[in-house]
A and B are shown apart, each in its own frame.
Chain A
Amino acid sequence: MVVKVKLFATFRRGRFREQDMELPDNCTVGWVLDHLNIPRRQLGIIYLNGLAATEDAVLHQGDTLSIFPMVGGG
């Protein structure tokens, strides 16, 4: 299946901004995070089709997954 994956801020470095990824059927958000080597301690919010999602959310063909790092400085 193909899922559109969007990365933001520091997660773009050495990866990509947006990519249609070919993923195994029924894989989870957590699988994508592992596949992309995204450090969990930097993880902020995850959006799946515009709604907040958790790592155990199962992905489906045509989904859009957006992954953001945590930002807290001022």
Chain B
Amino acid sequence: MTAWLELKDTLALAEKRKQNPLEIEKEHLARNVIPLHYQRNYTAISLSDQIKLLDSRVGVCGCGGLGMNVVNYLARLGVGHITVWDPDIFSENNLNRQLFSCYDNLGKSKVEVCRNFIQKINPAVCLTAIPAKWEESDASVIGRQQVMVDALDNIPSRLALASTCEKFNIPLVHAAVGGWYGQLTVVMPGDQILQEIYQNAEQQQGIEKEQGTLPFTAAVLACLEAAETVKLLLDMESDLRSNLCLVDLLNMSLDMLPKCNLDVNQM
């Protein structure tokens, strides 16, 4: 028979012992007692994998239409250590798609608002909010992550992140959106897929400049990024490690294409 641990008891124990709620949850999971807020993760996520997730470290670059959804899903699932970078504050044109944006939050730091929401959603998660561009912060923070998530909004920054992940030997989950369309892939160290995708990029933006960014497109691609992140953390197989996925919500098509093997330096 499975035993459950309610969040109020986790928090009370953490307070009493002066411990992080995360440690309380791990201790109980090790004794087959499941924190109730993870009940519906089980058995798709086994108890040992749930502990693994609580011990995991993920970095999310960009806290906008993609990033906030990615952080939301990872935190709800129980990824224990999340670092999120974004220098921006909420503006009115974010309200169509950015999960934690609301009229009252306009002008506030996106990552700070995100941290406050996540604290209420899952108090066991340790979320580090960095209100700066990832390029401008301590690179060693990236080096400590197990998986990085590309939720950025411009091509030069995406390419720089791919290079940094390559340097630190960290897998990168990439997604980008524009209008009804999105693309997704998992970049393993050594892959040059982003350099290939953006080989013709002379500008900062793609079709999103004209098409805008629709809320459901960002949400769908963010969900897929979260799922791929979890698969990487739990050493699960994923077809995206050798494919590029193109999502077209207008025509309801999802195409998987093999990654190219072209030497981009020769182009």
**Interface residues, chain A, with chain B CB atoms under 8 Å away:** 8-10, 12, 17, 40-45, 47, 50-54, 66, 68-74
Beta-carbon contact of A74 and B177 below 8 Å: yes
* Closest-CB distance, A65 to chain B (whole angstroms): 12
Contact B267 A8 (CB under 8 A): no
Does B206 have its Cβ within 8 Å of any Cβ on chain A? yes
Contacts of B211 in A (CB 8 A): 10
Q: Which residues of B contact A74 (CB under 8 A)?
A: 62, 64-67, 150-153, 175-177, 213, 218
In Å, the complex CA distance between A47 and B243 comes to 13
Chain B positions near chain A (C-beta within 8 angstroms): 62, 64-67, 150-155, 158, 175-183, 196-208, 211, 213, 218, 246, 248, 251, 253, 255, 257-258, 260-262, 267
Complex Cα distance, B96 from A38, in Å, reads 30
Q: What's the minimum C-beta distance from A45 to chain B, rounded to whole angstroms?
A: 5
The 8 closest A-B pairs by CB, nearest first: A73-B208, A52-B260, A70-B206, A9-B181, A72-B206, A74-B153, A52-B262, A74-B66
In the complex with contacts A8-B246, A10-B207, A73-B213 CB distance below 8 A:
yes
Asked if B196 contacts A71 (CB within 8 A), the reply is no
Instruction: Decide if A41 touches B203 in the complex (CB within 8 Å).
Output: yes
**Contact at B207–A42, with CB atoms within 8 Å?**
yes
Among B181, B182, B202, B258, which residue has its beta carbon within 8 angstroms of that of A50? B258
Cβ–Cβ contact A10 & B251, under 8 A: no
Q: A72 touching B251 by the CB < 8 A rule?
A: no
Q: Is the CB of B205 within 8 A of A73?
A: yes
Residues from chain B with Cβ under 8 Å of A17 in the complex = 251, 253
Which single residue of chain A is at the shortest CB-CB distance from B153? Answer: A74
* Residues of A contacting B152 in the complex (Cβ-Cβ under 8 angstroms): 74
Also in contact, A72 and B67, with CB within 8 A (given A43-B200, A47-B257, A50-B258): no
**10 residue pairs from A and B, CB less than 8 Å apart:** A9-B246, A10-B207, A42-B206, A43-B200, A51-B261, A52-B196, A69-B181, A70-B207, A72-B198, A74-B177
